[in-house]
Amino acid sequence: MSGSEPTQRSKVSLREITADTVREICNLAVREDQVKFVAPNAVSIAQAYFSKTVWIRAIYADDTPVGFAMLHDEPEKPEYYLWRFMIDARWQHLGFGHQALGLVVEYVKGRPGASELLTSVHQADGGPQPFYEKFGFALTGEEEDGEAMLRLPLEVAVPIACNLDALSATEQARRTELFERFRGGIQAVDDVPGGYRVTVSEGVSRNEIEELVGYERRCCSFLRLAVGGGPDGIVVSITGSDGAKEFLDSEFGLGQRPS
């Protein structure tokens, strides 16, 4: 685990579980009122060990493990099913789940014959169904082992839309303030595959840009954002899946900015 705790600006990634990390992944746990919705990670990892069609990954925010994902991954059929997915109680409501699910979806989209991702939920108050539905999953009307099935058609991909509900009212106001300062400081916009490289040289600090990027990762998970430096100022790479560039043009006018 890293020396500092994850924040909303942390980068989310999926990593293989190793002999060195398995114990801390097993120690991750949801809130007490959520335990009826997902099995302990130790049970999931044990089940994966005895299956040839299971794919598992730990979810990290920067270098801190914050969750776990487990897929039934059977390209011969083809069939892809999100069997387990959890974020530790300490790290919920920071946008990590939405970002991690986006990474899982991107993995499945690259698998042979993948056209949909299935999952199932125990329907009860406090359950994960609203989380999946906000991402784009829809009920199929079927049940499996007493749980309601949901389906995400992969041809739709991750929704190209900002989910501002992921931010509190205070955070939304702060995001708007930072974005206006960011836009006012843009000096150059360069075309790159799937998006733009934006150079900002005045009006906003690097810390403020990284704070803005943290908000964008939570509400616009279809975007891939990275902050770096250049000879002319701070450089922000903004790219995404199909449709992201058109979104950036229509919503933020980046394509109309001088290069």
CATH number at residue 106: 3.40.630.30
The pLDDT value recorded for residue 255 is 64
| Number of Cα atoms under 13 Å in the Cβ half of residue 216 | 24
* 112 in any annotated domain: yes
The pLDDT value recorded for residue 257 is 55
State the Cα–Cα distance between residues 126 and 233, nearest whole angstrom. Answer: 45
Do 149 and 176 belong to one domain? no
Q: 121 near 148, Cβ under 8 Å?
A: yes
The pLDDT value recorded for residue 79 is 87
Q: What is the pLDDT along the chain (259 residues), one digit of tens a residue?
A: 556 788 878 889 999 999 999 999 999 999 999 999 999 999 999 999 999 999 999 999 999 999 999 999 998 888 899 999 999 999 998 889 999 999 999 999 889 888 899 999 999 888 899 999 988 899 999 988 889 999 998 864 556 777 778 888 899 999 999 988 888 888 888 888 778 888 998 778 889 999 998 888 888 877 888 888 767 788 888 887 777 888 888 777 776 655 5
* 2 in any annotated domain: no
The pLDDT value recorded for residue 233 is 82
* 1 in any annotated domain: no
Provide, for the chain, the percentages of residues in helix, strand and coil under a 3-state DSSP scheme, each rounded to the nearest 5.
35, 30, 35
Percentage with pLDDT > 90 across the chain: 46
Output b/e per residue, 94-126; b: 16+ Cβ within 10 A.
bbbbbbbbbbbbbbbbebeebebbbbbbeeeee
Do 20 and 133 belong to one domain? yes
Q: 118 near 80, Cβ under 8 Å?
A: yes
Condensed to tens digits (0 to 9), the pLDDT of residues 97-142 reads 999 999 999 999 889 888 899 999 999 888 899 999 988 899 999 9
* 3 in any annotated domain: no
State the Cα–Cα distance between residues 132 and 121, nearest whole angstrom. Answer: 9
Tally the domains of the chain. Answer: 2
Do 94 and 175 belong to one domain? no
Domain residues for the domain of 168 are 164-256
CATH number of residue 197's parent domain: 3.30.1360
CA 132 to chain centre: 12
State the Cα–Cα distance between residues 4 and 7, nearest whole angstrom. Answer: 9
Tokens found for residue 177: 């303030």
The pLDDT value recorded for residue 192 is 81
Do 125 and 168 belong to one domain? no
The pLDDT value recorded for residue 93 is 87
Condensed to tens digits (0 to 9), the pLDDT of residues 87-99 reads 999 999 888 999 9
Q: Which of 99, 125, 153 is the last residue of a domain?
A: 153
Q: Which of 153, 172, 192 is the last residue of a domain?
A: 153
Do 179 and 201 belong to one domain? yes
If you search the block for the tokens 């790290």, which residue do you land on? Answer: 91
